[in-house]
Amino acid sequence: MIRFRTIAGGAAVSLTIAAAAPAQTLPAGPAEFAGGAVTVSGNVSVSISSHDDIAFFNYTDYEHNALRMFRAAVSGAWRIGPRLAVLTEIRSEDGEHVVPYAFYVRARPFAHVPFDIQAGRIPPVFGSFARRSYRVDDNPLIGYPLAYQYLTSLRPDAIPGNADDLLLMRGRGWRASYPVGSEYAAPGVPIVSAYRWDTGVEGNFASDRYDVAASVTTGTLSNPRTSDDNDGPQVAARVGWRPLFGLVLGASAAHGEFVNGEIENQYHPLLGDESYAQTAFGLDGEYSRDHWMVRAEWIHSRWTIPQLGTPLVAQPLTATSAYVEGRYRVTPRWYVAGRADTLTFSRVTGEHLFDGQPTEWDAPVERLEFGAGVYLQRNLTLRVIVQPNWRDGGRVRQRTYPSAELAYWF
């Protein structure tokens, strides 16, 4: 009830702002202080939708509904010198805790070389969507792609004892529980978390045609962290190429220890020195021309977990996701957009479930999302979408959500 009142209140405030927009223009750019050395920007968005407390198709790793959320963020940049700056973003979702989503130092060692080093809670290197998801103006729809939001049944702090334990949680990533590790039920992880940034160091080189970035962080794509929990850092990299105007192509890779160190230490005498890592590869592309913009992304992730009891989870668990989205500007203010999305999993064989037949370790998901948006002013948009979901498992296998969002940024 408290969360609903928060969202409703945010909607009322946002709608009041929108109604007043024609009479008085909202601030359109960041505020500057100290002669431009300090800049402050922000965004506010409120989305409303039907409840998702049975199917949990849009549940996030912060246990919020991606289509039913009030979000406010303030970003700041302090330019200490010509080649050194401190950047941060503070955010709150649904009126809950205020969290520093980003806090890092950016340095450019060489004045005439486009190479930056960033350290702290840093922007992601891997993929395409996660690197732009924090910009409310860069998502033509409201929901997130499955790879970046949908919760699988895997957890870093609790693991299945055998294949039957894993299959029992099929389609229940919103509240998974296992006999090894944490005894409490909790949400699983997506392939890549777009709602949290990892902590570490990264380097970026950008030229007219190429972008190269690499990072070393404490967590993994699925489980970004502020502190290490398994003494196994993640290494990630992405290469971007712009072969012609309007076209961007990218390839990414990441590898890091996934399973909690307490579990690794507990079973080390039995299993020896093994690596229980998440390894991922991704391809992405974007093409824009005239009124059109089209984006696509493919991600394949592999998790290795300890093999404890029979029937064994003998092979690494894999998940593959792909989406294509497009936007067409009907007029300078109005646009239509859509996204087609899929998420599939590798198979395991249990003994007591599914008649002992090889079965996807989690329930495959398909999603469509389509709608329209209007720019009430340059930095104030109203979006309306419809999102059908299908899943081969779980308590609810099909659900369609209408949603509307008002977003403002400066």
Helix, strand or coil for residue 356?
helix
> Residue 3: what pLDDT?
44
Nearest to 154 by CA among 354, 42, 319: 319
Give the model's confidence band at 267: pLDDT under 50 very low, under 70 low, under 90 confident, else very high: confident
pLDDT at 6: 42
Mean pLDDT of the residues in the chain: 91
Instruction: Give the CA radius of gyration of the chain.
Output: 22
pLDDT tens, residue by residue, 6-45 = 444 444 444 444 444 444 556 778 999 999 999 999 999 9
Residue pointed to by tokens 């404890």:
308
Amino acid at 87: L
Q: Residue 279 burial (CB < 10 Å; 0-12/13-18/19+)?
A: buried
Given a cut of 90, whether residue 293 has pLDDT beyond it is yes
Mean pLDDT of 192-209: 95
Paired tokens of 133: 């998801």
pLDDT above 90 as % of the chain: 81
pLDDT higher than threshold 90 for residue 180: yes
**Which helix (H) or strand (E) element contains residue 20?**
helix 2-20
Are the beta carbons of 370 and 339 closer than 8 angstroms?
yes
Which helix (H) or strand (E) element contains residue 269?
helix 261-271
297-327: pLDDT as tens digits: 999 999 999 999 999 998 999 999 999 999 9
Reading the block at residue 122, the tokens are 């840093």
Euclidean distance between CA atoms 353 and 350, whole angstroms: 6
Contact 101, 134 (CB under 8 A): yes
Query: What pLDDT is recorded for position 25?
Result: 59
Q: In the chain, how many H helices and how many E strands?
A: 5, 21
Q: Encoding tokens for residue 310?
A: 């029979």
Q: Which residue has the tokens 């045609």?
A: 209
Q: How confident is the model at residue 133 (pLDDT cuts 50, 70, 90)?
A: low
Q: Maximum CA pair distance of the chain?
A: 71
**pLDDT in the model for residue 23:** 41
CA 344 to each of CA 48, 71, 78, 244: distance values in angstroms, whole numbers, following the listed order: 28, 30, 43, 33
Report, as an integer, the average pLDDT of 199-210: 96
pTM exceeds 0.85 for this model: yes
CA distance 64 to 52: 10
Confidence at residue 62, expressed as pLDDT on a 0 to 100 scale: 81
Tokens 């409490």 belong to residue:
184
Residue 134 has pLDDT above 90, yes or no: no
User: What single string gives the DSSP state of each residue in 148-191?
Assistant: HH---S--SSEE-SSHHHHHHTTT-TTSB--SEE--S-B----S
Residues 349 and 362: their CA atoms lie apart, in Å, by: 12
On the question of a cis peptide bond just before residue 311, with omega within 30 degrees of 0, the verdict is: yes
269, pLDDT greater than 50: yes
DSSP codes of every residue in 347-387: EE--SSSGGG--EESS--EEEEEEEEEEEEETTEEEEEEEE
Looking at 2.60.120, 1.10.10, 2.40.160, 3.30.160, the CATH number of the domain 74-91+103-376+386-399 comes to 2.40.160
Which residue pairs, CB below 8 angstroms and at least 24 apart, start in 82-88?
82/111, 83/107, 83/108, 83/109, 83/111, 84/108
List, in order, residues 6 or more apart from 10 with CB less than 8 Å away: 44, 46, 70, 72, 95
CA angle 73, 75, 80 (to 5 degrees): 165
